[in-house]
Amino acid sequence: MSIKDKPPSRTRQIGSILLWITGLFFLFNAFFPNFFNNPVPQVPYSLFISQVEDGQVAKASVGDKEIRYQLTENADQDNAILRTTPIFDLDLPKRLEANGVEFAAPPPSNNFFGNLLGWIIPPIIFVAIWQFFIGRNGGAGGAGGALSFTRSKAKVYVEEESTKITFDNVAGVEEAKTELTEIVEFLKTPQRYTAIGAKIPKGVLLVGPPGTGKTLMAKAVAGEAGVPFFSISGSEFVELFVGAGAARVRDLFEEAKKKAPCIIFIDELDAIGKSRASGGMMGGNDEREQTLNQLLTEMDGFAVGDATVIVLAATNRPEILDPALLRPGRFDRQVLIDRPDLGGRLKILEIYANKVKLSDEVDLKEIATRTPGFAGADLANIVNEAALLAARNYRETVAQADFAEAIERVVAGLEKKGRVLSEKEKTIVAYHEVGHAIVGSLLPGGGKVAKISIVPRGMAALGYTLQMPTEDRFLMDEREMRDQIATLLGGRSAEEIIFGSITTGAANDLQRATDLAERMVTTYGMSKVLGPLAYERGSQGNNFLGDGGMANPRRMVSDDTAKAIDAEVKEIVETAHQQAIAILKDNRELLETISQQILDTEVIEGDNLQELLGQATKPEAIAA
């Protein structure tokens, strides 16, 4: 899709014509200053004085810069005028009077074109300044300039076959495609629905985590329907001046009516659609509240007559939107654009992989299997990172190893070979990461251990243990969550067993373990002491994978309940800690063996790693 160029307005055309005329006047006057005046012969000042003293001058007009006079013999001819340039001569009046010359000051200038330019130039300059400000920020679609506060800033896209986006360009969200196909069919053949009295939804809200393709899906709908597509972000409605946002909403819908049938897409709707009861809007004159009120009004009344305008909007936080915005008659439907499953990830990888040169060994299904929980934007980033790695190494095609490295870059960060660790630190990191790997390999909740590395990556990771789920999971039981906490504490437990002390390297592990234990108690109701109650404000959802965000604040609870929550969280973490220590003590020899080997090679993965971890044994107490 491309931005449609809007022809300049009549006002701008007139202003441009006036500017051209003014410029031509200036140029003509500069090169031909006397074109509009009759040429007057000029004589030396000495000749003029000589003619005065000889009595040949009848009358003279004496000015500061010029003296015009007539000779006695031509006194009856008005056009027989001579001129000269005066010099500083205080005796000139006496000399003229003594010789009988009639003299006076020059009459006021009556140059028609000079006066005309004097009246026209100032308004023209004002028009030029106005044109400058109007055109300074003027964008496609007639978005207006620096002084057009109330004009909509929406960009208007029209389909072009070369860049047209359709449902074929979107994968992994088949359910959402099915929902939106009806919208496309209505835009193509509205009579089929209206003939039996059906009404298509006025608004469709696309909901999902960041990077799942909500904006891409909206463009695909416009591409499939072949209608104009107005795209704008919610933040572009909000301005410093109260009322400007509401005016922009009105202007947007007015423009949309003119191009109906069409689609209006509002990205990040929560920027203006936040609930008015949340305390974020103070008073009736708040700019964002006025913008929201205008949007509600337009969505109630814009579908009048034959104007077919459908509003698509996208947000990552539907729970904070105003209820009036989500009621039937405005946003009638909410379409979930979720993270893709295994089949969806494979299709997404195939779409983006078609744009790069792949070697024959590349197995996209294996890559899709190793990336559970990845959104479409993450997968596109992996393909691009793999292509960059191949180009950096002067290869003509992208290999499977490039994809593996790209996944690690996304998960753990960029490898930092320049960061040199001391031997002591390197040894601690090696035992720490092997502790994670051994505990994780024996407990099913942690996933398959695919790689151990002591090469620093990312912001602060001195080493990492890469665990890859073997399948897509949407639920996790209490036993698996406790195993995951034990795996997180495996590194700290290894330090305690081998060195008899702990370091700061386990800070992130402790934070993640504590957060998971607290969600078990306050969100999932996995505490026998506190029972099946939710102690967190709001909903965290029932998907244990979550979005990695911070937990919501706790509800207002009594001091006794808060102490009970803290005690339960501590009991869960401490139990997992003792479990990790028991496993590592029982496998201390293997811990030493793998740690020494990784100190020599820095990285262990593949069959070698699986063979070593296959020697680990689970203590009888834990196995039972």
Query: Which DSSP state fits 616?
Result: -
Rank 32-46, 363-377, 456-470 by mean pLDDT and report only the highest.
363-377
Give the model's pLDDT for residue 114. Answer: 59
Give the model's pLDDT for residue 243. Answer: 64
Count of Cβ atoms closer than 10 Å to residue 36 Cβ? 12
Q: Which of 236, 255, 268, 433 is catalytic?
A: 433
| Least confident segment among 147-151, 246-250, 405-409, 489-493 | 147-151
CA distance 50 to 341: 109
185 is catalytic: no
Buried b (16+ CB within 10 A) or exposed e, 96-124: beeeebebeeeeeeeeeeeeebeeeeeeb
Name the pairing type of β-strands 229-233 and 57-62.
Answer: unpaired
**Half-sphere exposure of 162 toward its Cβ, with a 13 Å CA cutoff?**
1
Q: Please write the tens of the pLDDT for every residue from 503-544.
A: 888 888 999 999 999 999 998 989 888 888 888 765 444 443
CA distances from 585 to 30, 271, 449, 578, 592 (A): 98, 54, 20, 10, 11
Two structure tokens written together for 307? 């104007």
In the predicted model, is pLDDT for residue 149 greater than 60?
no
Strands (DSSP E) found in 278-322: 309-315
Rounded to an integer, the average pLDDT of 599-605 is 89
Give the model's pLDDT for residue 348. Answer: 92
How confident is residue 140, by pLDDT bands cut at 50, 70 and 90?
very low
Give the model's pLDDT for residue 3. Answer: 43
How confident is residue 148, by pLDDT bands cut at 50, 70 and 90?
low
Give the model's pLDDT for residue 271. Answer: 83
Give the model's pLDDT for residue 554. Answer: 58
Q: Please write the tens of the pLDDT for every residue from 120-133.
A: 666 767 666 666 65
Q: Are 235 and 198 in contact (CB under 8 A)?
A: no
Give the model's pLDDT for residue 2. Answer: 44
Q: Please write the tens of the pLDDT for every residue from 543-577.
A: 434 444 444 455 677 888 889 999 999 999 999 99
CA distance 576 to 567: 14
DSSP 3-state of 336: strand
- What residue type is assigned to position 114 of the chain? G
> What's the predicted TM-score (pTM) here?
0.67
- Length of the chain equals 624
Buried b (16+ CB within 10 A) or exposed e, 313-340: bbbbebeebbeebbeeebbeeebebbbb
Give the model's pLDDT for residue 458. Answer: 67
Q: What is the dihedral of CA 358, 362, 366, 367, to 10 degrees?
A: -30
Rounded to an integer, the average pLDDT of 581-601 is 92
How confident is residue 143, by pLDDT bands cut at 50, 70 and 90?
very low
CA distance 348 to 340: 9
Rounded to an integer, the average pLDDT of 138-157 is 50
Rounded to an integer, the average pLDDT of 447-471 is 78
Q: Would you give the distance in Å from CA 85 to the centre of its chain?
A: 70
CB-neighbour burial class of residue 236 (10 A; exposed 0-12, middle 13-18, buried 19+): buried
In the predicted model, is pLDDT for residue 41 greater than 50?
yes
Q: Please write the tens of the pLDDT for every residue from 234-278.
A: 777 776 555 677 788 888 888 888 887 888 888 888 888 888 775
Q: Please write the tens of the pLDDT for every residue from 330-340.
A: 888 888 888 88
Mean pLDDT for the chain? 78
Give the model's pLDDT for residue 14. Answer: 61
Q: Please write the tens of the pLDDT for every residue from 63-111.
A: 777 888 888 777 666 666 767 777 777 778 888 878 878 877 777 665 5
Q: Would you give the distance in Å from CA 296 to the centre of its chain?
A: 25
CA distance 108 to 590: 111
Give the model's pLDDT for residue 59. Answer: 83
Two structure tokens written together for 555? 């509800």
Which residues share a beta bridge with 314? 206
Q: Are 268 and 315 in contact (CB under 8 A)?
A: yes
Pick from 308, 122, 139, 317: which is nearest to 232 by CA? 139
Q: Please write the tens of the pLDDT for every residue from 3-20.
A: 444 555 555 566 566 667
Strands (DSSP E) found in 362-453: 448-453
The residues, any chain, with a CB within 8 Å of residue 36's CB and separated by 6 or more, are 111, 112, 113, 114
Pick from 226, 228, 319, 307: which is nearest to 278 by CA? 319
